[in-house]
A and B are shown apart, each in its own frame.
Chain A
Amino acid sequence: MTGAAGLERGYRRLLACYPARFRGEHGEELVAVLMAGAREGQRRPGLAESASLLRSGLGMRLRPDTSPAAGQGWADALAVFSLAGPVFLLATTLLVALAGGVYSLGRGGFTVLFGIPGFWITLGVQAVLAALVLAGLRRAALVMTAAAGVYFFNFYLGVYSSTFPQSSPEVWRLLAISVCIVELAALLGSPGPRRGRDLVHWGHGVVLLLCAAALASYAALLRQAAAEPAVTLLLMVIAAALITTLARAVRLNRYFRLLLAALACPCALFLAYRAFDWQWLYLTSYERPALLLAGPVLTAAVAVISTVRPRRRQII
Chain B
Amino acid sequence: MTSRAMQEATFLILTALAAGAQHGYGIITDVQHISAGRVKLRAGTLYTALDRLRGEQLIEVDHEEVVDTRLRRYYRLTPAGASRLADEAARLAASAATALARLRLAGGIG
Which A residues contact B (CB, under 8 angstroms)?
Answer: 22, 25-26, 28-37, 48-49, 52-53, 55-57, 59-60, 66-68
Contact = CB atoms under 8 A, between A and B. Distances in A.
A68 B55 contact: yes
A36 B23 CA distance: 12
Interface of B: 23-25, 28, 42-48, 50-52, 54-56, 70-73
A25 B71 contact: no
A48 B43 CA distance: 11
Contacts of B73: 29
A36 B25 contact: yes
B51 A34 contact: no
Contacts of B72: 29, 32
B45 A52 contact: yes
Secondary structure at the B interface, as helix, strand, loop or mixed, is helix
A25 B48 CA distance: 11
B24 A32 contact: yes
28 contacts: A26-B47, A29-B71, A29-B72, A30-B24, A30-B43, A30-B44, A30-B47, A31-B70, A32-B24, A33-B23, A34-B43, A35-B70, A36-B25, A36-B70, A37-B25, A49-B43, A49-B44, A52-B44, A53-B44, A56-B42, A56-B45, A57-B44, A59-B48, A60-B48, A66-B52, A67-B51, A68-B54, A68-B55
Contacts of B23: 29, 33
Nearest to A11: B43
Contact of A26 (B25, B28, B42, B51): B51
Nearest to B24: A33
Nearest to A65: B55
Given A37-B25, A56-B45, A66-B55, A26 B50 contact: yes
B68 to A, nearest CB: 9
Secondary structure at the A interface, as helix, strand, loop or mixed, is helix
A33 B46 contact: yes
Residue in A30, A33, A68 whose Cβ sees the most chain B Cβ within 10 Å: A33
B55 A67 contact: yes
Contacts of B42: 48-49, 52-53, 56
Contacts of B28: 33, 37
Contacts of A29: 23-24, 47, 70-73
Nearest to A33: B24
A44 B77 CA distance: 34
Given A29-B24, A33-B28, 5 more contacts: A29-B23, A29-B72, A30-B24, A32-B24, A66-B52
Nearest to A17: B44
A198 to B, nearest CB: 14
Residue in A29, A35, A49, A59 whose Cβ sees the most chain B Cβ within 10 Å: A29
A33 B23 CA distance: 9
A56 B41 CA distance: 12
Nearest to B57: A68
Contacts of A48: 42
B25 A33 contact: yes
B100 to A, nearest CB: 35
A68 B48 CA distance: 14
A186 to B, nearest CB: 25
Contacts of B43: 30, 33-34, 37, 49, 52-53
Given A29-B73, A32-B24, A33-B28, A22 B44 contact: no
A33 B24 CA distance: 6
